[in-house]
């Protein structure tokens, strides 16, 4: 008889948990995973994937306008939110099925239930059933943080945004991170009057100032309003179902929907961590070492619950590294250097490496090359939106240490450019590469 029911029990079947479970099983481990919502986790069910589909759907508003300038006679268009919503949710169902099949084909047992840790090697499912494992992996992700003030419960989060019955006519989005800016773009393109409220006067902290400023200018041009240095006082529901948001430093605002995109907190409540001695930091994130091991020897954690870098590809790498280390006899750590990222705003932003400010502080002497241009398509379309590409180099070595872009397709372009930055290439290497003409990305090898 084996000492434990399983070699590994994973709590949470999201990006990190699914990868870790499937790879551990491929290494020969007996694996079970507990999932309280839907297999696939945030990214697949209510994050990256459905969001990107809404971004595509939203962008047609501009494409259809632009097409007129390319000779297309576009009759008056109407937009059917319910059709888009249901098509997106249909694809989410398909992916949920695929992720489930992946686990099943690797003989990973799935418990469609909440799990809590109730002993050093034991979990208890919500049905009351207890299971034991040699190793426990916590991959429970994060959830939206909603500030506490009178009426906050009248608002929604990104979780609910994918299921709305209709596009609200007036939306107030709280927050200034990537989720807030992406949904501001989505609702705005669908014809809603969007206002973004933020505690500070900065959007997208962590991104380079020039691209943040450019997004602000373009968003204002598209009709998105901003209320900076504002904190909620209360939200009241009116007789007609609309909401009035009261905030500091600004007049009250009547809207039909308030959406909170005010950060995400690690899912650790009620997991039983204290009872088994798993330590968390001041934000509630599970403390782990470079191999994702917690303060307890046989309990590990990967993904958003550790609050290292809250992105799907990072959670996946952490899950893979965990499985290779613990079950594949191949100790592996994740390299967190030069992680590229994107904001799928309209237009999108993409970045890798240091911002200009960070590079100045770290390296002292830097060189900055920029291209501020109006993409050819925007010229013909009479769209007065300029793209901005910025390359930051270490003045001493010519090495490219950061790249920042805002403009059409910039995340697609950045994924390729990030390879060069990660590889430590220099400005001269970029210059030595012949341009593909005419493209937007050729600006990268023609930067002055």
Ligand X SMILES: Cc1cc2nc3c(=O)[nH]c(=O)nc-3n(C[C@H](O)[C@H](O)[C@H](O)COP(=O)(O)OP(=O)(O)OC[C@H]3O[C@@H](n4cnc5c(N)ncnc54)[C@H](O)[C@@H]3O)c2cc1C
Residues serving a catalytic function are 437
- Please, which of residues 88-117 interact with ligand X by CB under 6 A? 114-115
Q: What residues are paired with 439 via a beta bridge?
A: none
Q: How far is the CB of 307 from ligand X (least distance, A)?
A: 10
SS3 of residue 43 by DSSP = helix
- Please, which of residues 350-369 interact with ligand X by CB under 6 A? none
Pick between residue 343 and residue 391 the one whose CB is nearest to ligand X: 343
Dihedral over alpha carbons 38, 311, 196, 83 (to 10 degrees): -40
Q: How far is the CB of 240 from ligand X (least distance, A)?
A: 29
Query: CA–CA separation, 61 vs 192, rounded Å?
Result: 12
- φ, ψ of residue 370 in degrees (nearest 5): -135, 155
DSSP structural state of residue 196: E
Tell me which of 26, 48, 95, 164 binds ligand X, using CB under 6 A: 48
Q: How far is the CB of 14 from ligand X (least distance, A)?
A: 2
Tell me which of 8, 24, 34, 288 binds ligand X, using CB under 6 A: 34
Tell me which of 4, 26, 36, 339 binds ligand X, using CB under 6 A: 36
Tell me which of 139, 186, 352, 418 binds ligand X, using CB under 6 A: 139
Lookup result for tokens 């504002």: 230
For position 25 contacting ligand X by CB under 6 A, the verdict is: no
With residue 390 as reference, give the H or E element that holds it. Answer: strand 387-394
Report the candidate in 136, 118, 116 with the shortest Cα–Cα distance to residue 126. 116
Tell me which of 188, 307, 312, 378 binds ligand X, using CB under 6 A: 312
Q: How far is the CB of 305 from ligand X (least distance, A)?
A: 6
Pick between residue 271 and residue 354 the one whose CB is nearest to ligand X: 271
| Edge-to-edge strand list for the sheet holding 253-255 | 232-237, 243-247, 253-255
Report the candidate in 278, 277, 343, 344 with the shortest Cα–Cα distance to residue 305. 278
Query: CA–CA separation, 11 vs 127, rounded Å?
Result: 15
For position 266 contacting ligand X by CB under 6 A, the verdict is: no
- CB atoms under 10 Å from CB of 35, counted, come to 26
- Please, which of residues 4-23 interact with ligand X by CB under 6 A? 11-17
Report the candidate in 436, 408, 431 with the shortest Cα–Cα distance to residue 420. 431
- Please, which of residues 161-180 interact with ligand X by CB under 6 A? 179
Binding string, residues 115-134; x marks residues near ligand X by CB under 6 A: x-------------------
Query: CA–CA separation, 164 vs 156, rounded Å?
Result: 10
For position 262 contacting ligand X by CB under 6 A, the verdict is: no
Q: How far is the CB of 13 from ligand X (least distance, A)?
A: 6
How many binding residues for ligand X (CB under 6 A)?
Answer: 34
Lookup result for tokens 């007129």: 68
DSSP structural state of residue 445: G
Tell me which of 177, 185, 303, 348 binds ligand X, using CB under 6 A: 303
Q: Which stretch binds ligand X (CB under 6 A): 36-44, 76-84, 293-301, 362-370?
A: 36-44
Lookup result for tokens 């039909």: 256
Q: Where along the sequence are the contacts to ligand X (CB under 6 A)?
A: 11-17, 34-37, 41-43, 47-48, 51, 114-115, 139-141, 158, 179, 267, 271, 303-305, 310-313, 315
């Amino acid at each position: 008889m084996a000492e434990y029911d399983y070699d590994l029990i994973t709590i949470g079947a999201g990006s990190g948990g699914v990868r870790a479970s499937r790879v551990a099983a491929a290494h020969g481990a007996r694996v079970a995973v507990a999932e309280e919502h839907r297999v696939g986790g945030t990214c697949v069910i209510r994050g990256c994937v459905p969001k990107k589909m809404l971004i595509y759907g939203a962008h047609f508003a501009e494409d259809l306008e632009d097409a007129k300038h390319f000779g297309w006679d576009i009759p008056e268009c109407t937009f059917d939110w319910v059709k888009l919503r249901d098509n997106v949710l249909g694809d989410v169902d398909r992916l949920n099925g695929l992720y489930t099949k992946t686990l099943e084909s690797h003989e990973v047992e799935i418990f469609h239930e909440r799990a809590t840790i109730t002993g050093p090697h034991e979990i208890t499912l919500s049905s009351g059933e207890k299971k034991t494992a040699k190793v426990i992996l916590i991959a429970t992700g994060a959830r939206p943080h909603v500030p506490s003030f009178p009426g906050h419960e009248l608002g929604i989060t990104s979780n609910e945004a994918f299921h709305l019955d209709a596009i609200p006519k007036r939306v107030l989005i709280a927050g200034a991170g990537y989720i807030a800016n992406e949904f501001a773009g989505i609702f705005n393109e669908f014809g809603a009057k969007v206002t973004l409220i933020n505690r500070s006067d900065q959007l997208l902290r962590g991104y380079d100032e020039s691209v943040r400023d450019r997004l602000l200018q373009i968003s204002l041009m598209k009709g998105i309003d901003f209320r900076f240095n504002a904190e909620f006082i209360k939200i009241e529901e009116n007789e007609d179902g609309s909401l009035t948001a009261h905030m500091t430093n600004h007049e009250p605002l009547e809207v039909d929907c308030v959406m909170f995109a005010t950060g995400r907190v690690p899912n650790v409540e009620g997991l039983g961590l204290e009872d088994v001695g798993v330590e968390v930091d001041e934000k509630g994130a599970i403390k782990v070492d470079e191999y994702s091991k917690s303060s307890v020897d046989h309990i590990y954690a990967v993904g958003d619950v550790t609050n290292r870098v809250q992105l799907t590809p990072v959670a996946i790498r952490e899950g893979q590294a965990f499985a290779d280390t613990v079950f594949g006899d191949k100790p592996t750590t994740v390299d967190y250097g030069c992680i590229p990222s994107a904001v799928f705003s309209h237009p999108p932003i993409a970045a890798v490496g240091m911002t200009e400010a960070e590079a100045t502080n770290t390296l002292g002497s830097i060189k900055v090359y920029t291209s501020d241009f109006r993409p050819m398509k925007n010229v013909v379309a009479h769209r007065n939106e300029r793209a901005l590409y910025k390359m930051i180099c270490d003045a001493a070595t010519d090495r490219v240490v950061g790249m920042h872009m805002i403009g059409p397709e910039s995340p697609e372009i950045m994924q390729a450019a990030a390879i060069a930055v990660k590889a430590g290439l220099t400005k001269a290497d970029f210059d030595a590469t012949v341009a593909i003409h005419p493209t937007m990305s050729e600006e990268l090898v023609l930067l002055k």
